[in-house]
Amino acid sequence: MALGKADSKKKETAEAAEAPAAETKAPAVETKAAEKPTAAAPTAPAAEQIQPEGKKAPAGRKTAAADKKPAAAKKKASGVKKTEPAVKKAGQTAPEQPVPAETKEAPAAEKTVPEEKPAAPAAKKAKPAAKKAAPAQAAQKEEAAAEKPAEEVKKEAAAEEPAQVQEAAVETGYSDQPRRSVAFIGSECHPFVKTGGLGDVMYALPRELARLNCDVRVILPRYACIPQEYQDKMVYRGEFYMDLGNTGRNYYVGIMEYIWDGVVYDFIDNQEFFTAGKPYTNLVDDIPKYCFLSKAALAALNYMDWIPDIIHCHDWQAGLVPVYLRTLFRDTPVGRARSVLTIHNLRFQGIYNIPTIRYWSGLPDEVFRMGALQQNWVDANMLKGGLAYADRITTVSGTYASEIQTAEYGENLEDHLRYHSGKLRGIVNGIDYGMWNPETDPALAVNYGLGSVLEHKMENKLALQKELGLEEDAGKFVIGLISRLTNQKGLDLVNAVIPQVMDGNTQIVVLGTGDKEYENAFRYYEDAYRGSFSACIQYDEARAHRIYAGSDSLLVPSRFEPCGLTQLNAMHYGTLPIVRETGGLKDTVEPYNEFTGDGNGFTFDRYDAELLLGAINRAKTLYFNNRYHWDEVVQRDMAKDVSWEKSARQYKDLYLELTRW
């Protein structure tokens, strides 16, 4: 039975003491289709087969290297527990600090003494901190053995970057704000690797937080697909070996560092996990990969003796971080950090059978219960576990924070989220004004600002039409669509209305990749409406900028949209959004009111093709019949504050709330 809001609030107060009743019922057994591996799923090993002899990887990963590991490395990686406190940095939690009230929210299992040793890395495994980028994985060999003690390595490397971070805060004049240190952990970050908005947020928010006197470190995988230009800038920071789950192996963890604009980026290096040409492949590989990332990130913080006040994790790929923090790492230095878990997209949760996740994570049995990782009788859910153990949960808009507590948007976690609603809040995303600025954007044919948009936007439209082989006519109404081509984005509605939209005065430009059915449908329309429809089935950052600048309007008719960044980019470029009133779209686009002239764009509520068509037609009517009012909205949108400033302050306040001293 679904809990009402009031009930859920009441229950929350008791949550430290007992497992939630609402959580103990078996949720629907169905797992997200999108999450299921397409390859044959590995057979779930029976519980009693997991640990002992053979230690075979149930998810079918290669284990050959394990046996090659020299005895010395095995010994060192077995978990040397550091007892000395981490070097205290400004604003860092003192161990003797009073325990903040939020501790009450910790699930019962937090009190359980972990059965396994904390994964503190071997203290003596590191190489000296080289000043030049180390050859990838060179250190994965046994000769990586200490040429210089790790303690020295740590001090050398650590001495450099905090000064730079501090400078950044001083320069921008916010150093009067209380200082806090934050480690971001996530799976993508522009400009190193980006598949969608998560990459934008992981880039922009840390930079804004640095301006608000935060000491920020972003921990990411060192994927092989990160462009060479950035690989070359990374500096070797150290390495150690770490055990992982029940694999019986010690895994190499290299730390490659890049310090840029007041933010420290630490890339976790391991060739076995991060060599694919793209970040996400299939769950069979992704589950072990992100178990490894979550554990290695915490071990790396211990290794570097950089213990942040806050660990801010993003999406399911870092979902196990709060769980590790309160179990295997609880008694290590990093265990005193508070955790925030941000949901960027609830559709993806990291669900797999319990034995596999148990095998790769090595998490104690207590976390595999209904109130935490257990999803149903068969599966474990990494995001669900993170939500249970995190000190705070955020998502990327207020409306989505409410929506995900309903069956329609809750992706089977609505009960769990309602149960934890006391620590859940929505903070809307912004965009980075350095990266998205039509006045300086190097990708555009002509730069423009608020004062020159009316003259120069046309020129960008003509340049875009030329670039894409469309009829060059500034009088046409150009509609852009920049999107991952997935079921989330409302593309079936778009497909349904295209023939009615193509009236001879309208052009459509699509930029995106994804599901074949959508890619092919858009290719079909390009063929059917030559000169008026362009289907760019590709990922092209610079072209995206030109579409934002050259279009009159941008379509975002999503089925659900946690925040959405494309409508924000569009408004900032004077391009009026046409959106469905859901999630962050609802929170950021005020509907145009034809009587008062107020608003930022055109909206519709129910997920219905006719309603989308109605919104497009209202946009066209204003554009063709009342350009004066259209232009007013263009200018209003460009002037609207969609920067990170306000939202970053809300995150900072949240961090302060968690670390009152």
DSSP 333: G
Query: CB of residue 430 vs ligand GLC: minimum separation in angstroms?
Result: 10
**Nearest residue (CB) to ligand ADP, 325 versus 565:** 565
Nearer to ligand ADP, 420 or 543 (CB): 543
Minimal CB distance to ligand GLC: which residue? 197
CB 306 within 8 A of CB 337: no
Does residue 511 touch ligand ADP according to CB under 6 A? yes
Report d(CA 310, CA 205) in Å as an integer.
Answer: 14
128/196 with CB nearer ligand GLC: 196
The full 3-state SS of 86-139, as one line of letters, equals: CCCCCCCCCCCCCCCHHHHHCCHHHHCCCCCCCCCCCCCCCCCCCCCCCCCCHH
Does the footprint of ligand ADP cover residue 120 (CB under 6 A)? no
- DSSP line for 581-642: SSHHHHHH-PBP-TTT---SBEEE-SS-HHHHHHHHHHHHHHHHH-HHHHHHHHHHHHHS--
User: Candidates 162-170, 195-203, 375-383, 465-473 — which segment interacts with ligand GLC by CB under 6 A?
Assistant: 195-203
What's the half-sphere exposure (Cβ side, CA atoms, 13 Å) at 495?
15
Answer whether 386's CB lies under 8 Å from 363's CB. no
Under rule CB under 6 A, residue 553 binds ligand ADP: no
Letters for 514-543 (x = contact with ligand ADP by CB under 6 A, - = none) are -------------------------xxx--
Binding residue count for ligand ADP, defined by CB under 6 A: 19
Does residue 484 bind ligand ADP (CB under 6 A)?
A: yes
Rounded to an integer, what distance in angstroms lies between the CA atom of residue 140 and that of residue 359?
23
Beta bridge partners of 533: 508
CB of 429 to ligand GLC, least distance (A): 5
Q: For residues 106-127, b (16+ Cβ closer than 10 Å) or e, as one string? A: bbbbbeeebeeebbbbbbebbb
DSSP run (H or E) holding 177: none
Rounded to whole angstroms, what are the CA distances from 326 to 106, 317, 380, 567?
9, 17, 18, 38
557 lies in the binding site for ligand ADP (CB under 6 A) = no
Binding mask 311-350 toward ligand GLC (x if CB under 6 A, else -) reads ---------------------------------xx-----
Question: What is the DSSP code (8-state) at residue 316?
Answer: G
Phi–psi pair at 28, nearest 5 degrees: -50, 140
The 345-384 site mask, x for binding ligand GLC (CB under 6 A), equals x---------------------------------------
Distance in Å, CB of 549 to ligand GLC, minimum:
20
Report helix angle 150-171 to 283-304, nearest 10: 90
Distance of CA 183 to the CA centre of its chain: 13
Rule CB under 6 A: is residue 196 a binding residue for ligand GLC? yes
CB 216 within 8 A of CB 184: yes
577 phi and psi angles, rounded to 5 deg: -75, 145
Residue with smaller CB distance to ligand GLC, 363 or 556: 556
Residue number of the CB atom closest to ligand ADP: 197
187 interacts with ligand ADP by CB under 6 A: no
Q: Pick from 57, 168, 169, 198 the residue near ligand GLC by CB under 6 A.
A: 198
Radius of gyration of the chain (CA): 25
Query: What residue 396 binds from ligand GLC, ligand ADP, none (CB within 5 to 8 A, per partner kind)?
Result: ligand GLC
562 binds ligand GLC (CB under 6 A): yes
Under the binding rule (CB under 6 A), the answer on residue 386 touching ligand GLC is: no
Interface with ligand GLC, residue 588, by CB under 6 A: no
Per CB under 6 A, 401 contacts ligand GLC: no
Of the candidates 253, 341, 370, 544, which one interacts with ligand ADP according to CB under 6 A?
544
Query: Least separation, in Å, of the C-beta of 513 and ligand ADP?
Result: 6
| 239 in contact with ligand ADP (CB under 6 A) | no
User: Rounded to whole angstroms, what are the CA distances from 195 to 184, 342, 485, 504?
Assistant: 18, 17, 12, 34
Q: Does residue 486 belong to the site contacting ligand GLC (CB under 6 A)?
A: no
Given the complex with ligand ADP, which of 196 and 599 has the nearer CB atom? 196
Helix (H, G, I), strand (E, B) or coil at 475: coil
Q: Is 206 in the site for ligand GLC (CB under 6 A)?
A: no
Asked if 548 and 569 count as a contact pair (C-beta separation under 8 A), the reply is yes
Given the rule CB under 6 A, which of 60-68, 548-556, 559-567, 604-612 is the region that contacts ligand GLC?
Answer: 559-567
Query: Binding residues for ligand ADP, per CB under 6 A?
Result: 196-198, 200, 482-484, 511-513, 539-541, 544, 563-566, 569
